[in-house]
Homo-oligomer: A and B are copies of this chain.
Amino acid sequence: MAKALEARRMPKKDYEARVPLVREELIQLQVALQHAGIRMLVVVGGDEAAGKGEVVNLLNAWLDPRGVQTFAFHAPTEEERQRPPMWRYWRSLPPRGRAAIYFGGWHADALAQEPKSPKELADFNRMLGRLVHFETLLVADDTLIVKVWLRLARAEQKARLTELEKDPDTAWRVTADDWKRHRAYDRSTRLAERMRRATHLPESPWQIIDAADIRARNLSVAQHVLARFKSHQLHRRVAPKAAPRPARVVALRREGLKLLRNIQLEHHLTEEAYAAKRDKWLGRLNRLVRAAAAQQRSIVWVFEGWDAAGKGGAIRRLTSAIDARDYRVIPVAKPTDEEKAHHYLWRFWRDVPGAGRVTIYDRSWYGRVLVERIEGFCRPDEWRRAYDELQNFETQLTDHGIVVVKFWLHLSKEEQLRRFRHREETAYKRHKINEEDWRNRKQWKGYETAVGDMLVLTNQKQAPWHLIPADNKRFARLEILKLSCYQIAAALGEDI
């Protein structure tokens, strides 16, 4: 039997003759990746004892280690459990032009246990949905995803484990767990098939590779990587990264613009009335933020608004009610070079707060459908797709129990002008205003349209937009405090 099997194996000589050619092509592939700025993710999944670790090590040995990193995920750590499930995979993504090898991939999360109850099944399907979304979104961002599944028949698995165990020098490679998993072969094969079927996407399909013959397996994996890369290059849409600035911004949804223009901007509030109410609401906010922390719930605030609408001041008022150790303010400016080499959501995923913490964004991921749309920093298909991606991102946060509070601070064009002038006249405020602010102001109409679309297309039950009339700073700050309290209280099921 062993002889018969051996006869079907690839002879060592053949293997050794072919390896140098494959290695040379892999090195060329890496150079081409770097050159074209394509990100490559190789997922090595497979049945027990099929040699996932060996294949990962081999790819590592064959590729130039300076352009590739390997990731393998254990059970989530405390830090990982505190964030939405996809957080740890987002963190691991390589920049454009580089490759990463994933031992088991993000797919291993779907192999832990067969869902049984209707609730388990719903959770399972939601998880598969997240995996599919993750890959779809990366593929659209010029990522080549290569997924191989090393298949080992039940009898082969047994033979391999027995053989390793026989030799005292390799017996350590076989543990009691391996045998336990061998006995559960049928069940795990079924589960793996189910996962593969759900994540077998046209642009990131699974390739099943027979792992019985080790040499043939190694070559097949490498050749599949090469083939996928060639096909990616063939079908790659070569589009300029930057589109020209659009001549005119055309609304996707007219009702957004109406919404915006109907905001009542005039409000009066005396300093005294404000001070009294402010302290009351700050006290409530403090209590609610502490209640959220006690429940391990995090809070994310998103501040968007016109230049000079008072985002910074409102944030400072807010944070005066929160322990300085519990919150972080993240001002979102132009992406750095490192950030540009990643998916635009990457930098926001990176900062998702741990359990019970608060993160406040001064501008946010909505830049994608505002400044990037208006200035042509991304292509039309990119910002159009973004409404969906942004909603999905926030759903992943809220599904994880994070409270997402979003504000649009609205200002009249006249009030903005007044504030710009005031900034220019005040020495310590002059740094807040520059050419760009004046340029943006000239595009008021375009921004209005883009904001309207954003408000309509990303307004979700769990993460609604609050529109704040901001011509009166005191009124705006108080509104922000109040609405924050209401939304957090509702999310926690607490009284105000």
Interface residues of A (CB under 8 A from B): 20-21, 23-24, 26-27, 31, 52-54, 56-57, 60-62, 64-66, 70, 72-74, 77-79, 103, 167-173, 276, 279-280, 282-283, 286-287, 312, 316, 319-320, 323-326, 328-329, 331, 333, 336-338, 354, 362, 426-428, 430-432
Contacts and interface: CB of A to CB of B under 8 A. Distances in A.
Given A66-B333, A333-B66, A325 B73 contact: yes
Given A329-B65, A428-B24, A324 B70 contact: yes
Contacts of A103: 324-325
A211 to B, nearest CB: 16
B279 A431 contact: no
15 contacts: A20-B426, A20-B428, A23-B428, A26-B428, A52-B324, A57-B324, A64-B431, A65-B312, A72-B324, A72-B325, A72-B326, A169-B276, A169-B279, A170-B283, A173-B286
Which of A79, A167, A426, A428: most chain B CB closer than 10 A? A428
Contacts of A171: 283
Which label, helix, strand, loop or mixed, suits the secondary structure of the A interface?
Answer: helix
Which of A57, A60, A169: most chain B CB closer than 10 A? A169
A413 B428 CA distance: 63
Contacts of A431: 27, 31, 64
B319 A57 contact: yes
A177 to B, nearest CB: 11
A169 B427 contact: no
Contacts of A312: 61, 65
A409 B168 CA distance: 30
A283 B172 contact: yes
Contacts of A430: 27
Contact of A331 (B65, B78, B170): B65
Contacts of A74: 325
A57 B316 contact: yes
Nearest to A282: B169
Contact of A287 (B53, B172, B337, B362): B172
Nearest to A78: B78
A337 B337 CA distance: 9
A425 to B, nearest CB: 11
In the A-B complex, list the 10 residue pairs whose CB atoms are closest, starting with the nearest.
Answer: A23-B428, A72-B325, A169-B279, A78-B78, A24-B427, A24-B428, A53-B324, A65-B331, A172-B283, A79-B79
A342 to B, nearest CB: 13
A312 to B, nearest CB: 7
Contacts of A432: 64
Contact of A329 (B20, B60, B170, B276): B60
Nearest to A19: B428
Nearest to A26: B428
A333 B186 CA distance: 46
B325 A169 contact: no
A362 B65 contact: yes
Contact of A53 (B72, B167, B323, B338): B323
A488 B169 CA distance: 20
Contacts of A61: 312, 316
Contacts of A362: 65
